[in-house]
Amino acid sequence: MPEPIKVATVGEIEDESAIVVDGTTSGTGEDIAVFFSDDTYYAIDDTCTHQDASLAEGWVEGDEVECPVHAARFSLCTGAALCLPATVAVKTHKVELRGDEVWLHPGVPADKG
Ligand code: FES
C-alpha cells in the first residue's frame, strides 16, 4: 500500500474544485483527484470510467462531480456512477486532515480506517 502523502494545505484547493495527484506520486499508477466542496475533502480516481476524461476538470456540486465530456455524474463520497453514460464506479481514497495539512491515503477506500 502506498504511503500517505501531503497533497495540500487548507485553503489551497478552492471550493468546488480539485487538484490532481499523478499516478507516480500517488503510488497507485492512477491519477487521483482531491476535491474540496461544502467544507469537505474527497478523493477519487481522476479518470472517468466512461472514457478518458479528467474528473478534476468537471463541475462540482455538493458531493457530486459531473464529467466534463459526456456529463456522467459520480458521487464524491462513494465513487458511484449516478447516471449514464458511466456505469462503473470510480475508486475512492481516504483523505485526512492533520492540522491544516491535507493528507491523501492512496489506495485506502474513503470509508475505511
Ligand atoms: S468521458 Fe466521462 S462521461 Fe464520457
Is 90 touching ligand 1 by the criterion CB < 6 Å? no
In this predicted structure, what is the pLDDT of residue 111? 84
Give this prediction's pTM: 0.96
The CATH classification number of 5-105 equals 2.102.10.10
Q: What is the pLDDT of residue 71?
A: 98
**Residue 95 contacts residue 103 (beta carbons within 8 Å):** yes
Q: Using an 8 Å Cβ cutoff, are 91 and 79 in contact?
A: yes
Domain regions of the chain by residue span: 5-105
Which DSSP state fits 47? B
Q: How far apart are CA 81 and CA 48, in angstroms?
A: 10
Assign 2 a pLDDT band (cuts: 50, 70, 90): confident
Q: What cell numbers appear for 113 in the block?
A: 480506517
Task: Tell me the pLDDT of the chain averaged across its residues.
Answer: 96
User: Does residue 5 register a pLDDT over 70?
Assistant: yes
Confidence of residue 112 (pLDDT cuts 50, 70, 90): low
Ligand 1: which of 51, 55, 64 to mutate, judged by most atoms within 8 Å of the beta carbon?
A: 51
Can you give the pLDDT at residue 1?
A: 74
Q: Is the pLDDT of residue 113 over 60?
A: no
State which ligand 1 atom lies nearest to the alpha carbon of 55.
Answer: 2
